[in-house]
Amino acid sequence: MSEHIQLGDIRVEVQRKNNKHAHLYVYPPEGRVHISAPLHMGLDALRAFAISRLSWIKAQQRQMRAQPRETEREYLNRESHQVWGRRYLLEVIEVNAAPVVELKHSALVLQIRPGSDEARKEALLESWYREELRAKLPVLLGKWQPLMGVNVQRILVQRMKTRWGGCNPSTGNIRLNTELAKKPPECLEYILIHELTHLIEPTHSNRFLALMDKFMPHWRQIKDELNRLPVRHEEWDH
């Protein structure tokens, strides 16, 4: 049976995990609130924890609800698409040959077989964005892993519904959202450093913030920039 805490009109979902401490998350687009709670921690203690963070929860929710959304994509000619923070117009070319996606000047060219439906076009572009992001990682990892004294075991690049990235410190694995390939390159670097820092400090503690300040002193400005940019239509879970 699922557990939750009600704080006025705010519902806080509770998920039990083998954690040492409770972790609070607010998810886009509407600000769904979630606590990852230790098995031993009672609901009264979790309620007190959530109340102590109530002003932060409300601030996060206001910010998320104000964030602009991209229009729904139809994958038609001259539709606007973003690649690394720059705007390109989609050019769909139907030809009986293997599919190709490439940038040509101000165009994002999608070569596809005649009769391909919207889902096929979306899948091809999604795969292309994933490979674009992967291509950036060797240089970034080569720069930051030695500086931070960490080693990533595996990086998964995938479509993520609620977060820009994720880290499992126990396995050394990091996940990155494919959507980052649409944002300015410094946003990918910021999210990667954020997740690498979790290999040193798993929680968003004062130590974590101090480490972020050390590795990337201007990270808050980049975070604000990322939060101001439009997010994918229907990308985020409710």
Region 121-150: what's the mean pLDDT?
A: 97
pLDDT over 70, % of the chain: 92
**pLDDT higher than 90, residue 189:** yes
For the whole prediction, is pTM greater than 0.75? no
Residue 214 neighbours by CB distance under 10 Å: 11
CA distance linking residue 197 with residue 211, whole number of Å: 7
Domains of the chain: 3-66 (no CATH), 117-228 (3.30.2010.10)
Residue 229: name the closest of 55, 84, 106, 132 by CA.
84
Q: Is the pLDDT of residue 100 over 80?
A: yes
**Would you say residue 182 has pLDDT above 90?**
yes
Q: Which long-range contacts (CB under 8 A, 24 or more apart) does 59-65 make?
A: 60/26, 60/31, 61/26, 61/30, 61/31, 62/31, 63/227, 64/26, 64/28, 64/29, 64/30, 64/31, 65/29, 65/30, 65/31
- CA angle at 124 for the pair 122 and 125, rounded to the nearest 5°: 65
Instruction: List Cβ neighbours of 21 (8 Å cut-off, separation of 6 or more).
Output: 38, 203
Torsion of CA 26, 28, 31, 32, to 10 degrees: -70
What local confidence, expressed as pLDDT, does residue 226 receive?
A: 86
Q: Which two tokens stand for residue 78?
A: 């001259």
Confidence of residue 232 (pLDDT cuts 50, 70, 90): low
pLDDT at 181 over 60: yes
Average per-residue pLDDT for the chain: 89
Which regions of the chain does DSSP assign to beta strands (E)?
3-7, 10-17, 23-27, 32-38, 80-83, 86-94, 100-104, 107-112, 154-158, 165-168, 173-177
